[in-house]
Amino acid sequence: MASMIELIQNGGVTSPQGFIAGGVYSGLKTQESDTLDLGILISEHEANLGAVFSNNSVLSPSVTVSRSRATTGKSMGVVANSGCANCCVGSQGEHDAIEMTTLASQHLGLGETDLLVCSTGMIGVELPMALIRQNIGNITPHNDGGSEFARSIMTTDSEEKHLAVSLDIENTKVIIGGCAKGVGMIHPNMATMLAFITTDADIDQKFLQDATKKAADLSFNMISIDGDQSTNDTMLVFANGGSGSATIDEKSPYAENFQEALNYVCIELAKKMVRDGEGAKRLIEVIVDNAPSLKDAQLAARSVSDSMLVKAMVHGNDPNWGRVMMAVGNSGAKIEESNLDIFINEIHVVHEGKAIPYSIEAVVNAMDVPDVSIRISLNTGNFNATAWGCDLTEDYVIFNSAYST
């Protein structure tokens, strides 16, 4: 964490000033204790908006409606449901997405197009609008509702994913909070995931959009659970200026501080998602350094973190670095085989493209920890990138061969 950023205990999307949120159970999912499936997050004043959406060609109307409204660069907040992706349901999907925002806006006394909408869950079934109509009025957004909102967007997630940090902007304390969901169908370029970031910093809208894209590229676009990306991914950043801080635009001396803090929040949320990956027992951090370009570093890091054989090898504590070489070689990154060094949890296993003598038992033991780091030095430049993945386990297969039936 950059030194000027402080973590807020139990922080989330309602930690910044002027944001309220809440959630209810409306019957979209099977109820267990604490199950919520419909939530609202709003800003007390209109916020500037940064947004990134799935680039899948098959898109949920919840995405297309939000994407269209997001072009104004302004929003009051978002209504979100889990349990149903509102996807592949024909024209009914757009109708339902719009109705969901209208119902929430009427309940809260907001304008018709003030809210965005997100959906996550099964593809191919229509939103049960009767249940939504019946229950949406029971949501009471409040100052402490971040955790409720985070819970209402969970699908197969085993826990809520949220955090918040504070930083100083010209002696004013500003807060960035965030929450996210998604533990399957996760792959670079906005996979089945929703992420909501709030801040009471005052951020110029154009800069906010650029900062949002940058943060997504370093975090949610560098994780992979199963290489599949979904139809509903959405990342929204709301900046409402509630802290009274100076406005930050791209030329502000604080632009970089804000970007770093935003990156930090997004990367931490992304890592929480990977750690909670379906069936996953380990976090795999793949660092590629000394690459000839950022693109080469990112390609190589993603290829390794996405390889099924590397994922399976980590599951078995197996320092089978030939698979890492194979994945780097496949990545499309510019490499010189005879320059490559590989480190597994900082134990040097390959030097100049060849195995170096190491104790296999020591590496097996070193790998038997929750976080496994694989570092590949390309040694042909000065660029670095980090990607995150999870191990591939029998549980992933069991889980995903019996999801809908």
Q: What are the residues binding its own copies (CB under 8 A)? A: 56-59, 85, 87-90, 122-125, 184-185, 226-231, 306-309, 312-313, 315-323, 325-331, 333, 335, 337-338, 350, 352-355, 360, 364, 392-394, 396-398, 400-405
What is the dihedral sign for C-alpha 173, 237, 263, 389?
positive
- Minimum separation from the CB atom of position 307 to its own copies (A): 5
**Cα of 205 vs its chain's centroid, Å:** 21
- Minimum separation from the CB atom of position 390 to its own copies (A): 12
73 vs 227, beta carbon nearer its own copies: 227
**Cα of 17 vs its chain's centroid, Å:** 23
4 vs 125, beta carbon nearer its own copies: 125
**Token pair belonging to 186:** 């996760």
- Minimum separation from the CB atom of position 357 to its own copies (A): 12
- Minimum separation from the CB atom of position 125 to its own copies (A): 7
Encode burial over 291-304: b for 16+ CB neighbours within 10 A, e otherwise.
bbeeebbbbbbbbb
Whether 71 is catalytic is no
- Minimum separation from the CB atom of position 319 to its own copies (A): 8
Helix (H) or strand (E) holding 60: none
In order, the DSSP letters of 219-288 are TGGGEESSS---S--EEEEEE--TT-PPEE-TTSTTHHHHHHHHHHHHHHHHHHHHHT-TT---EEEEEE
Helix (H) or strand (E) holding 53: strand 38-53
**Residue 68, burial from CB neighbour count under 10 angstroms (0-12, 13-18, 19+):** exposed
Strands annotated E in 96-193: 115-122, 161-169, 172-181
- Minimum separation from the CB atom of position 400 to its own copies (A): 4
115 vs 185, beta carbon nearer its own copies: 185
137 vs 403, beta carbon nearer its own copies: 403
Q: Give Cα separations from 34 to 137, 150, 179, 191, 281 (angstroms).
A: 19, 12, 17, 26, 24
- Minimum separation from the CB atom of position 340 to its own copies (A): 8
42 vs 333, beta carbon nearer its own copies: 333
287 vs 326, beta carbon nearer its own copies: 326
Other beta carbons less than 10 A from residue 25's beta carbon: 18
- Minimum separation from the CB atom of position 38 to its own copies (A): 21
Closest CA to 144 of 24, 286, 41: 41
How many CA within 13 A on the CB side of residue 194?
Answer: 31
33 vs 404, beta carbon nearer its own copies: 404
Contacting residues for 181 by C-beta, under 8 A, at least 6 apart: 82, 120, 150, 153, 154, 155, 157, 161, 193, 194, 273
13 vs 340, beta carbon nearer its own copies: 340
Rounded distance between C-alpha atoms, residue 304 and residue 330, angstroms: 9
For residues 58 and 95, is the Cβ–Cβ distance under 8 A? no
- Cα-trace Rg, the chain: 22
Which of these is catalytic: 192, 199, 212, 231?
192
Q: Give the three-state DSSP class for 113.
A: coil
Among all residues, which ones are annotated catalytic?
192
